[in-house]
A and B are shown apart, each in its own frame.
Chain A
Amino acid sequence: MNRNRKWFMSLIMLFTILVVVTGCSGTGTTTTTTPAATVTSTSTVTSGININGVGATFPAPLYTKWFDVYYKDTGIKINYQAIGSGGGINQITEGTVDFGASDGIMTETQQSKAEEANGPILHIPMTSGAVAVIYNISGISSGQLNLSGDVLADIYLKKITKWNDYRISDINPDITLPDADIAVVHRSDGSGTTYIFTNYLSKVSTDWASEVGNATSVDWPGDIGGEKNAGVAGQVQQLPNSIGYVELAYALQNNIAFANLENAAGNFITPSIESTTKAAEGITLPDDMKVMLTNSSNPEAYPIVGFTWILVYENQKDKEKGEAIVNMLWWAIHEGQQYTTALSYAPLADDAVTRAENQILSIKYQGETLLKR
């Protein structure tokens, strides 16, 4: 009897706790939104606003830093969830968040879908990043291996299968490469890094473009898939005679050997923050900034580079939020750029900043520009 009642009581208690907790969280959200609503009447004070963004994982460390600094300076809270570029595109299309973030350009169908729902969508560049080609060949340290675009493409197409293939040794006269099979490692998860990498390979190799193509995840001809940067780097570091690709920041922070790549001007370039920034200076940037920076013609540019964008609607639905977003974006492409190099991201080139400024100035609320300069 006694034990039975105890059970029953604890069940009742559990249920009550559940009701109370859910009730509390419900009231919690309402209290947080009220200040934003009251602010609308006072209009000039913007603190207390919550901006929500989701998207790419690649710029997440930088965004976290930015939004932290920005919150301390302005009191405007920006929540960023790094769920991946695809998720960022999906959620901004559905209008569930205030901005999305992506390492890839939205496809035509994605853009028209977003436009149908909420009007034209802008791609505003925030920073650029490089993809480093990493390898594990005993006796050959970082920066000693030279690769060209077509050789890299043929390695990933499994057409070049040995490290001592004459096409590799021809561009590496100073080192002796082993007579060993190349183990090719790629990202198994869909990612902006893969998008940039395959975009580059599609530009430099017609075979790659026709057989595999350019996407956040492709039908790889080659060997092993690793999960995220860490998975690819882990495989390459473990597996002798392997090759892989990761974000440059990841390779730098973890001291992984990476290769020099031949750029469009015929120079072998070591990936670095400087050679990443240069990439935007050799490419004609369109006003909408929907451009991949791969295979830049700048003689000092590293060839596998891409922008990472914040996706926002040109027509904002909420004046307060819209103002907060444009101010934050303006801050990010100016003051925010000083935080890039410390985190191994490349600051935007001047031309890119100017075009991003114009984009931010075009963001409107009911036909009226939100940011006035």
Chain B
Amino acid sequence: MKPLLSGNKKNSITRETSFKGLGNTGDRIFSNLTLLFSIIMIVLLLALIIILSIDAFPAIRKFGVSFFTSQSWNQVQESYGALPAIFGTLLSSFIGLLIAVPISIGAAIFLTELAPGWLREPIAFLTEILAAIPSVIIGLWGLFVLVPFIRSPVESWLGSNLGFLPLFQGPPFGVGFLSAGIILAIMTIPIITSLSREAIRAVPDNQREAMLSLGATRWETIRRAVLPYSRSGLVGATILGLGRALGETMAVTMVIGNSYNLTASLFSPGVTIASKIASEFNEASSELLVSSLMALALVLFIITLLVNIVARYLVRRMTATSTTKR
């Protein structure tokens, strides 16, 4: 019983034996119960994949590879393609990360390395509060506050001064990839910040001390000791943020403009996989449409799965390198 209580990592062997051998009844019920719960989770995941694949099958059989390359989403002619949605998902998430990563890592460095003690906790707490705001509220704020601001002055200024770039062409609607990217940045900043903080905090103090004792400045210490040491952790944090951005639905639907097109302009209204599904699923009555939406869901599932696997791998590599360094 004792090892169970302390929950100490080094005692994993003792823990197993306590479940198998000695076992009072309570322990056995408990271990079986937890086993059942974990099985439920695995079954849920498998069921999700199986159902999605079965439901997506008619669309994939009908359209084949062209489902991933076609740009049309036409209920009248019943031809569906995922390219604009995949593109929109990746582009909006990319813009989101482009804004969120520097801010988050900067904030994390400040919080761990530079901020005076009394300031650390309040700021960290407030960042976490930002993560707790429901996405529909962020979306409403986006629609009524951010979008008008993006339309004018931001987009009208960019359009008239940098309009020669394809990125900034087209009429300034306010809604579009740019607004969606900014909203996603706001939503991913808390996650990336707190994970980056953990990664930077995991850097052993002797690394910093060694650097400082060599006469390095604060900046040099951060750049040459802290950041390289926590690099994999920072990448992992970024990718987990990306995972959140890819699947975000409500807030993005409200500001992206929901237009099924593929353009280079950031001002252009677009669509993401999640927003397309949210918009159309309720009213979808034709089998092929439902199946195509399921296929979209499957694509999103695969993308997020890949992102998470990469994140896992990087985080594991980080722990591995940090132990070997130690």
Contacts and interface: CB of A to CB of B under 8 A. Distances in A.
Interface of A: 1, 3-4, 8, 11, 15, 83-87, 89-90, 107, 109-110, 181, 183, 188-191, 212-220, 222-227, 231, 234-235, 238-239
B274 to A, nearest CB: 13
Interface in B239-258: 253-254, 257-258
Binding site secondary structure of chain B: loop
Given A190-B279, A217-B283, 17 more contacts: A1-B5, A83-B282, A86-B282, A86-B283, A110-B286, A183-B173, A214-B76, A217-B280, A218-B76, A219-B73, A223-B257, A225-B279, A226-B258, A231-B254, A234-B144, A238-B143, A239-B151
Given A223-B173, A224-B173, A4 B4 contact: yes
B169 to A, nearest CB: 13
A216 B283 CA distance: 8
A160 to B, nearest CB: 15
Q: Which residue of B5, B73, B257, B285 has the most chain A CB atoms within 10 A of its CB atom?
A: B285
B258 A225 contact: yes
Contacts of A189: 279-280, 282-283
Contacts of A216: 75, 283, 285
A82 B275 CA distance: 20
Contacts of B258: 188, 224-227
B269 to A, nearest CB: 5
Using C-beta atoms within 8 Å of the partner chain, give the interface range for chain B: 35 or more
B179 to A, nearest CB: 11
A175 to B, nearest CB: 23
B104 to A, nearest CB: 29
Contact of A223 (B33, B269, B282, B286): B269
B35 to A, nearest CB: 13
Contacts of A212: 76
A223 B283 contact: no
Contacts of B171: 181, 183, 223
B75 A217 contact: yes
A216 B73 CA distance: 13
Nearest to A180: B171
Contacts of B74: 213, 218-219
Nearest to A214: B76
B269 A224 contact: yes
Given A223-B259, A224-B173, A239-B173, A190 B284 contact: yes
